[in-house]
Amino acid sequence: MQMYLPIAEVSVNIFVLLGLGGIVGFLSGMFGVGGGFLITPLLFFIGIPPAIAVATGANQVVASSVSGVLAHLRRRTVDFRMGLVLLAGGLAGSTLGIGVFARFSAAGQVDLLIQLSYVLFLGLIGALMLQESLRALRRATRPGAKPRRSHEHLLVHRLPLKMKFRTSGLYISVIPPVCVGALVGFLAAIMGVGGGFIMVPAMIYVLGMPTKVVVGTSLFQIIFITGFTTVMHATTSFSVDMALALLLIIGGVIGAQIGAQAGLKLKAEQLRILLALLVLAVAAKIALDLVLQPAELYSLTPMRLP
């Protein structure tokens, strides 16, 4: 069944969009990532214009994150205080990122900027996560191995402006979370994603937050980052397609609920290995697109008359 999308001005199959939203929603609920890094390339693939894919993808991520965060709220695994601190940095970073995005866009190099940041950050984060979770898994299976200390003194404990994050069981400086938030917000604006795939490992490895709290807190702050991005795109480039978003959302929210349940049945290490593999697969696919000679060397960008 085909449907004509009013803003994108293309006709697409409804079930393809519902399915796409469902798959991304499932992963979102399971791993606590917004799924933007999957939905945006997938929308390009089915022929949605890039600007609309980025903006509408952000809108879809809002819905799946709300659905996911509610599941986590009931389990009390959302650290609001940490979420707000991250968000403060995130909004600043996002504003800066949108400026950089516009500058590259004007120079015709925005594709390269997006692709390179995808390869670099997805590749780096994926590799780090995979290495760390494999090590953790090996430690867990080998009896008599030295368990990881529950209370390590990292850099985050030495900086000033300390704050108590009760849900996470942390007493750390607010400077690292604000910096993490800003970096994620910046990258989120450039790559058109929520930034969960960077936020989740940063929370675990840089801030030392417990894995259980990480997913809910990440989803909580993604809602606001992507909500901000959606409104920014709608007002500056009119590129949010509500009909497209609604179809993705219907698939997405259902997928997110199933994903959150599936996530409970897996161990934290297994969850991390799966997420690492997924992230690496997307990075490898984009890297290949950059290195291999494309079938069509030319691309078209229609420029609307004002």
Q: Out of 71, 202, 282, 283, which residue is the one contacting another protein (CB under 8 A)?
A: 71
End-to-end CA distance of the chain: 33
262 lines the binding site for another protein (CB under 8 A): no
Q: Which of 92, 231 has the CB closer to another protein?
A: 231
233 binds another protein (CB under 8 A): yes
Query: CB burial class (10 A; 0-12, 13-18, 19+) of residue 118?
Result: buried
3-state DSSP call for residue 187?
A: helix
Residue closer to another protein (CB basis): 8 or 178: 8
Q: CA-to-CA distance for 290 and 212, rounded, in angstroms?
A: 36
Residue 70, interface with another protein (CB under 8 A)?
A: yes
> Judged by CB, which is closer to another protein: 131, or 301?
301
Query: Residue 85 belongs to what H/E stretch?
Result: helix 80-106
- 183, 189, 230, 279: residue in contact with another protein (rule CB under 8 A): 230
Of the listed pieces 33-41, 62-70, 88-96, 201-209, which binds another protein according to CB under 8 A?
Answer: 62-70
DSSP bridge partners of 12? 3
Segment contacting another protein by CB under 8 A, of 60-68, 127-135, 142-150, 263-271: 60-68
CB 106 within 8 A of CB 244: no
Listed residue (205, 7, 179) closest to 93, CA to CA: 179
Q: Which residue lies nearer to another protein by CB, 28 or 168?
A: 28
Find the part of the chain contacting another protein (CB under 8 A) among 5-13, 133-141, 178-186, 206-214: 5-13
Residue 294 Cβ, how far from another protein at the closest point, in Å? 6
Residues 6-25 as x/- pattern, contact with another protein by CB under 8 A: xx-xxx--------------
Closest CA to 262 of 78, 73, 31: 31
Quickly list H helices, 154-267. Answer: 175-191, 196-201, 211-236, 242-265
Decide if 68 contacts 46 (C-beta within 8 A). no
Give me the residues that bind another protein (CB under 8 A), please: 2-4, 6-7, 9-11, 59-60, 62-68, 70-71, 108-109, 111-112, 223, 227, 230-235, 238, 240, 242-243, 245-246, 249-250, 253-254, 256-257, 289-294, 296-305
